[in-house]
Structure 1
Amino acid sequence: MKKIILLLVLSIAICTAGFAQQFTVATYNMRNDNASNDDSVRGNGWKQRLPVIVKLIQFHDFDIFGTQECLIHQLQGLKASMPNYAYTGIGRDDGKTEGEFSAIFYKTTKFKLLAHGDFWLAPVTDKPNKGWDAALPRICSWGAFQEIKTGYKFYYFNLHMDHIGVVARRESAKLVLTKIKTIAGTASVIFSGDFNVDQTSDSYAVINTSGTLKDAYELSPIKYAENGTFNDFNANTKTTSRIDHIFLTKDFTVKRYGILTDSYRAKTKGGDKYEAKLPSDHFPVMIVVDHQ
């Protein structure tokens, strides 16, 4: 009887080892907390939005995700509200804490950060500067991760491309592909961000037709994408333009893709009615992937 039980246990272990492992990836431009804009006046200030964003992340159970536009205090607020996550990244203005980050958050119970780095989207990649026709300095942060349960290793690259420079976006796409080959080699790669262009642009095509990476939207058999990804804090906006993307190497199998159009209700200025509000001026993109 003991031998039979032992054989059953071993059989289950062998079968389980062959199963694909699954985790959730996302990218989310959370809108910078800028005192000079009118977000707070319109009821879209960071203090109002932070608790909703935290609940959204926790409910949809993001395992690892790229962020865009967050300043250091925003990242600290997220970290304090979600102690089971850590992040990697530096500020684009000084390479330390100043300016917006392209930080990568990950569950510390699920992943181990093995190595990390950052480079600027410019001909000079190792110090803060603007590249080509870009209006602002732009940075890409990356991490080498290991899944604790399985030992599976992969790289994650995350960025926010320039909103003005057409040449900068195209050259940035080429630069990141080169960096991925240099840094990650033949390892599995996830590449996410706010690319500031949709699926019809040439800089998007540079990546999606590279033979190295493919848009998760195209790879997924199940798509929940009833809107585009930029909403300008307007809950009634409707577009087919996807400017936030997640690209993957062929090592991953995409099971599901979604643009999460979650909204919440907040009181109007008069305080006697409620209106639909959005946690950011972008909707997050979420995917579920398998790997062997």
Structure 2
Amino acid sequence: MRIATYNIRFDNPGDAPNHWDNRKEVVANLIKFHGFDIFGTQEGLHHQVEYLKKHLPQFEYVGVARDDGRQKGEYSAVFYNKEKFKLLESNTFWLSTDTSKPNIGWDAALPRICTWAKLKDINNGNQFFVFNTHFDHVGTAARQKSAQLILNKIKEYSQNGLPVMLLGDFNVDQENPAYYLLENSSELKDCFNAAQLRYANNGTFNSFDISKSSDRRIDHIFVSESVKVKKYGILTDTYHNRYPSDHFPVMAEIELRY
């Protein structure tokens, strides 16, 4: 299956000429063209994730907005192809000492969440978990605590050894302690390192600036040790010399092994 993480940038009127109305069709078509089966979005507001659902009719999504646990604020939505996968269970928890309701954790600047889904492959009955998150952009402690919290949740939910995928904008690059906590855990590995074929000629954050580049990867896909990673790519698609978002989508082609 093809899995991806994509920070689609919230609908910010100050982004002109890169505001959502100019980008939304490109974002939807990019997802169609690259054939994602499952993807996690970050920053999308309610009308943005609803737009993707409408224009990607084979997809359904789960998740709630971070500010009120309903529709106010940004989502970390999990989209899945409903023709290929059946939803068994899902929920959202806050990255905080109180995971059950909207609040700000540790030294974070904003409420942060992780949405998860337990899915079943309709074709073969295989079950697995997908987690999608967006770490804080300010709080150093919050990012490390969030990484440990998610690892603990993964241990809790996947006690029966089901494969796990963790998608997200982690706001830390591959040299950060919070990244190392995930990459060096016994539960997860970075698809960038594990892939048999890697196509990643850039970092993942572009600031909508086509003249700059970086090797910093702040958007990551982690998978459990049993998952085989065939391909990994950072997709630097453009349209009329612009980027569809201020982050590049990251994609991995994986095979689940039980």
In which range does the TM-score fall when normalised by the shorter chain? over 0.9
Q: Secondary structure at the match of 2:49?
A: helix
- For 1:258 and 1:202, locate their aligned partners in 2 and report how far apart those are by CA, in whole Å: 23
Residue 155 of structure 1 pairs with residue 129 of structure 2? yes
Instruction: Supply the AA of the counterpart residue of 2:98.
Output: V
Instruction: Supply the AA of the counterpart residue of 1:217.
Output: F
- For 1:119 and 1:168, locate their aligned partners in 2 and report how far apart those are by CA, in whole Å: 15
Match of 1:39 in 2: 15
Work out which of the two has the higher radius of gyration on C-alpha atoms and give 1 or 2: 1
Residue 219 of structure 1 pairs with residue 219 of structure 2? no
Instruction: Supply the AA of the counterpart residue of 1:144.
Output: K
**Deviation of 1:179 (Å):** 0.7
Q: Secondary structure at the match of 2:251?
A: strand
TM-score (norm 1): 0.87
Of 129, 132, 144, the residue aligned with 1:170 is 144
- For 1:286 and 1:174, locate their aligned partners in 2 and report how far apart those are by CA, in whole Å: 24
8 Å contact from structure 2 (residues 163, 256) kept in 1? no
- For 1:62 and 1:115, locate their aligned partners in 2 and report how far apart those are by CA, in whole Å: 21
Q: Secondary structure at the match of 1:91?
A: coil
Instruction: Supply the AA of the counterpart residue of 1:290.
Output: E
Of 57, 68, 83, the residue aligned with 1:109 is 83
Residue 27 of structure 1 pairs with residue 2 of structure 2? no
Of 268, 279, 286, the residue aligned with 2:244 is 279
Of 255, 261, 268, the residue aligned with 2:230 is 255
Paired residue total: 256
**Deviation of 1:235 (Å):** 1.5
Deviations 1:181-225 (A, max 9, x none): 112222110001000010000000111111110000000021111
Match of 1:15 in 2: none
Instruction: Supply the AA of the counterpart residue of 1:206.
Output: L
**Gaps spanning 5+ residues in structure 2: where?**
none
Residue 121 of structure 1 pairs with residue 95 of structure 2? yes
Instruction: Supply the AA of the counterpart residue of 1:108.
Output: K
**Deviation of 1:30 (Å):** 0.2
- For 1:148 and 1:72, locate their aligned partners in 2 and report how far apart those are by CA, in whole Å: 28
Task: State, as a whole percentage, how many aligned pairs show the same letter.
Answer: 50
- For 2:244 and 2:212, locate their aligned partners in 1 and report how far apart those are by CA, in whole Å: 14
Q: Secondary structure at the match of 2:74?
A: coil
Of 149, 168, 171, the residue aligned with 1:196 is 171
- For 1:213 and 1:250, locate their aligned partners in 2 and report how far apart those are by CA, in whole Å: 6
**Deviation of 1:291 (Å):** 2.1
**Deviation of 1:99 (Å):** 0.5
Deviations 1:17-69 (A, max 9, x none): xxxxxx1000000000023xx212xx101011000011100000000001000
- For 2:177 and 2:73, locate their aligned partners in 1 and report how far apart those are by CA, in whole Å: 28
- For 2:28 and 2:153, locate their aligned partners in 1 and report how far apart those are by CA, in whole Å: 32
Instruction: Supply the AA of the counterpart residue of 2:256.
Output: H
Instruction: Supply the AA of the counterpart residue of 1:28.
Output: Y
- For 2:19 and 2:177, locate their aligned partners in 1 and report how far apart those are by CA, in whole Å: 34
Q: Secondary structure at the match of 1:277?
A: coil
TM-score (norm 2): 0.98
- For 2:75 and 2:128, locate their aligned partners in 1 and report how far apart those are by CA, in whole Å: 21
- For 2:228 and 2:204, locate their aligned partners in 1 and report how far apart those are by CA, in whole Å: 22
